[in-house]
Structure 1
Amino acid sequence: MFMKMRSAPDLLSQLPRLMHRLPHLEAVRDDHYKIRAGFGGEERVDEILLRSRLDGPRAYIGDLQLAERFCQIDTIIVTDHFVLILEVKNFSGTLSFNEDSYHLEQTTREGNKYGYNSPVTQVWNAREELLAILSRAGLSCPVYGAIVLPYPTTLVDRMPSEFPVVYGYSLNRFISTLPRTGRISSPERTAQLLLDQHQPFPKMDFQEAYSYDPRQLKKGVVCGKCGGVCQKMSERLLLCRSCKQPVEDGYRRALDDWFDFVAPEITNAQCREFLGLKDKYAANYLLKKMDFLSQGASHQTIYRKREAVR
């Protein structure tokens, strides 16, 4: 059973919105592709695990984050004999694990070469953290690790020695071969112990990550499909000038863009400029209608989203 189901990362929906505001920034597009591929690979492995016929009780955790240690674990399997860490890598082309430099090298089908942090080091760090958590709880059991390639089209010409690389279709077979030397009385309780340590990472600072000036952002309400600027047709409906598709709740989504990509607060003047509203009264009406939290009086009032306040 899954004690924690995997959920889509926020960046999967946030980065396409940023792409529409900053269409020239290729780094955003590249990151979105990697995150979408990574999440797709993790979902594929989840499907394999849900269909598995492994013997004995077991508990799964999808995406455990330990913010204090800045450690993220794709999948954890807790059985009655061991804990297994799975680091999922959904890459195309050919992979080479460099044991000397602790580095991963990818050669795409087109012949392009890219370098990445070593997933072997990721698994090693994750194992050390889990061993420490279990030790503090007075538990002692084997903690294994593996790097999982979801699809057989990914090739490896240089394998790591410390942790095995397993293809998704062989995952159940691999798990069945692991030594059953430990003893875990309740996989569910042990999984819950690990889940109690889950601390989501802080939200990304997009300006710091992508080094843009907020003034570079495309202003107004933009279409979620093509990124075109929208024209107001009625109280709730706007029409994209490019693809002619109707856009509902466009102002709310545009203000979400401001809060995510510019600042956690907004003033009447900033709202008026960013959305291209005709005057301060239109901005005031819109901000009050959104039921934001407000602070201050008159033209110095600032507005924040309620969920942004802890």
Structure 2
Amino acid sequence: MLARLPSSHPRYLAISKRAHQLKAGYDGERYVDKILNEIAFPQGTSILKDITLEINPDYIIQIDTLIITPYNSYLLEIKNYSGSIQFNQTVGKTIKTSPNGQMDKYDCIIHQLDRAKTGLKEWLNQHNMDMPIEALIVMANSNTDIPIPLETAIVKYAKQIPLYIRSHFKKEKTITSTSINKITKTIQLHRKKWWTDFPCKQYNISPNELKRGVLCNTCNEPTTRIPGHSWFCYLCKKNNKSALNKSVDDWFLLVSPTLTNRQLRLFLGLRSSSATSVVLRSQNLKRHGATRNITYTKK
């Protein structure tokens, strides 16, 4: 979306901030994954990531990481914050103060963690299963400062997780291998694909507000078609052999699951419907309908 949206657009800053948050969260989860590799988990352990489960149509939970060992299970809510964190359950907010003094407020992590744990317990009950669940907030950034210790939830830095989990291996086993296999298979069978509206609909942005054309893979500015079926960026002085495919994908990522000749012609700024037909035939798309009512979808 940021590649297609003009920087002068009124929603650009909000979307840029959201993209930054999503990337930080993803980087934090990847870092915790590396830390978990330090643990010699006992045989039979199951590690599930990015789980979305439906407790009921109005109650859907997301779990970053769920670790099920014979000794205990751990529900990890991973955060990658920089600066200082204050947990304010009274107002239902987690307040982050960045090193530059900027203050951002998020939904309360403690409530989020409790909601996920409660939802998972209910989901297991619905499927006639049960297991002990320990919910933890994991700070991926070791420089995150927590000036007021949290008493109502367990908070650990990522590097503390291996020692913390290993300390439970000396205790009595509480989950059988059969139960771990059953719970894992049932979660895999019922996990939902997390999906929100297409960004254009989500942010109420018309496709007409997006940059048109086949964009450069480097600078996101429109390219020029040259003989040999490649696209050249005069700003970067580079050929963009994959720019066309990427630009067609932009439509399916940002706007709609369906595409017509006219829509693609306007989106890419092509001169004619016949030229657009050539582009459509070059893509790995599924064709629906006939004559003037043809639409295309991703295979």
2:195 matched to which residue of 1?
202
Cα separation, 2, equivalents of 1:152 and 1:134: 33
The answer for unaligned runs of 5 or more in structure 1 is 1-17
Q: Deviations over 1:171-228 (max 9, x none)?
A: 1222244595662111344322332221112243212322222111110100121111
| Structure 2, unpaired ranges of 5+ | none
Shift of 1:291: 4.5
Q: Name the residue aligned to 1:22.
A: 5
CA drift at 1:147: 0.2
The CA distance in 2 between the partners of 1:43 and 1:249, in whole Å, is 28
Q: CA deviation at 1:124?
A: 0.9
Measure, in 1, the Cα distance between the counterparts of 2:135 and 2:168. Answer: 10
Q: How do 1:123-162 and structure 2 match up within 5 A? A: 123-162=113-152
Q: After superposition, give the CA deviation of every residue in 1:36-61 in whole Å (9 maximum; x if it has no partner).
A: 11111111111111111355642211
Query: What secondary structure does 1:158 align onto?
Result: coil
The residue correspondences of 1:262-301 to structure 2 (distance < 5 A) are: 262-298=255-291, 300-301=292-293
Q: 1:54 to 1:288 in 2, by over 3 A?
A: closer
Please state if 1:225 is matched with 2:218.
Answer: yes
SS at match of 1:157: coil
8 Å CA contact retained: 1:58, 1:188: no
Distance in 1 between residues matched to 2:290 and 2:40, nearest whole Å: 63
Question: Which of 287, 290, 296 is the aligned partner of 1:304?
Answer: 296
For the 8 Å contact 1:81–1:141, the answer to whether it is kept is no
Shift in alpha-carbon separation, 1:54–1:271, aligned structure 2, 3 A: closer
Letter in 2 for 1:59: S
Deviation larger for 63-72 or 143-152: 63-72
Kindly report which structure 2 residues correspond to 1:49-88, keeping only aligned pairs within 5 A, or say none: 49-55=36-42, 57-67=44-54, 68=57, 69-88=59-78
After superposition, the Cα gap between the structure-2 partners of 1:116 and 1:260, relative to the gap in structure 1 and judged at 3 Å, is: same
| Cα separation, 2, equivalents of 1:291 and 1:47 | 36
Give percent identity, aligned residues only. 26
The answer to whether the Cα contact below 8 Å between 1:98 and 1:158 also exists between their aligned partners in 2 is no
What's the offset of the Cα at 1:31?
1.6
Cα displacement string for residues 6-46 of structure 1 (whole angstroms, at most 9, x for unaligned residues): xxxxxxxxxxxx11110321222212211111111111111
- The CA deviation string for residues 73-106 of structure 1, in whole angstroms up to 9 with x for no partner, is 0010101122210000000000000121221000
Does residue 245 in structure 1 map to residue 235 in structure 2?
A: no
Q: C-alpha distance in 1, partners of 2:49/2:78? A: 11
Aligned length: 289
Q: Identify the residue that residue 90 of structure 1 maps to in structure 2.
A: 80
Supply the distance in 1 between the matched residues of 2:40 and 2:286 (Cα, whole angstroms).
51
Q: 2:126 and 2:60 mapped to 1: Cα distance? A: 19
Aligned-partner SS, 2:40: coil
TM-score w.r.t. structure 2 length? 0.88
* Residues 294, 301 of structure 1: 8 Å contact kept: no
